[in-house]
Amino acid sequence: MAYSVTAGGKRLRPILCLASADAVGGDPPSPEGVGGTGRPRVLAVACAIEMIHTYSLIHDDLPAMDNDTMRRGRPTLHVVAGEGMAILAGDGLLTEAFYLLARHAPDVVSIVASAAGPRGMVGGQAMDLPSEPLDATELERMHLKKTGALISASAIAGAIVGEGTETQVAAISDAAREFGLAFQIVDDILDVESTSAVLGKTAGKDAAAGKPTYPSLYGLDQSRAMANQCLQRAEAHLEAAGLADSYLLAIGRWIVERRH
């Protein structure tokens, strides 16, 4: 569990959680929680979400799934410790995540669970397994579930823990949905344009596996334009709720402009 969760990575989801809490006023002080003073509830949620994301990567890399040998610039866990231990480590991270949520932020358990399970990430992963080719509508639906759901839940959970208003939470939810789709579009672009050394994972594997991607359906130029359109829609949602000056929009720009 420690090998994978401490391997680095972008930490986008926990950062988005923290930024959303900050955008609506911050995590109120609590005598209970992790980390002593500061923002104990939102930190617990952020850590739980990163554990869930890391578990999904461990399982995604298994031979029965994507059969990948590199993640976050290191050998994947099943290469280092074997498939059985990799499965158990993923199970352990998922369970520990919900222990944290139940203990420190029970008000967001259902939101994160919905995003992580068959309605979200797991359902999207099932759609991504080799089967019938996906059309453009199905591809977007798959990515909104597989990648976008947990990204969106990260932001929503942060806004709820930060005690945002209904308007603020709704705007952050809408913006985060666009961030999630933009993230996957850019991921598809980088899978074509970048290298394994830069990405920290195997480049070109989607094309090699014959999987549908945004570049394969729309081309690189149109895919970039679509990612930018996601950012524009996200900005409009945040502006409408008075949140355009928060860190959220800067995170959205990084998602679209990133090179790894």
Report d(CA 115, CA 124) in Å as an integer: 10
Structural domain of residue 218, as residue ranges? 2-257
Say how many domains are in the chain.
1
Phi (first) and psi of residue 143, to 5 degrees: -70, -35
| 93 Rama class: left (phi>0) / alpha (psi -120 to 50) / beta | alpha
Beta-carbon neighbour count of residue 105 at 10 Å? 24
Query: Structure pTM?
Result: 0.90
User: What is the 8-class DSSP label of residue 71?
Assistant: E
Phi (first) and psi of residue 74, to 5 degrees: -130, 160
- Give the HSE-up count for residue 258: Cα atoms under 13 Å, Cβ half-sphere: 24
Q: Which tokens go with 53?
A: 């994301």
pLDDT in tens, 42-75: 999 999 999 999 999 999 999 999 899 999 889 9
pLDDT in tens, 116-136: 999 999 999 999 887 678 889
Interval 244-256 mean pLDDT? 93
Report d(CA 191, CA 199) in Å as an integer: 8
User: Which range has the worst mean pLDDT, 14-23, 67-76, 131-140, 194-203?
Assistant: 194-203
**CA 51 to chain CA mean position, Å:** 11
CATH of residue 47's domain is 1.10.600.10
> Please, are residues 71 and 78 in contact by the beta-carbon 8 Å criterion?
no
Q: Which tokens go with 158?
A: 């942060």
Confidence band, pLDDT 50/70/90 cuts, at residue 33: very low
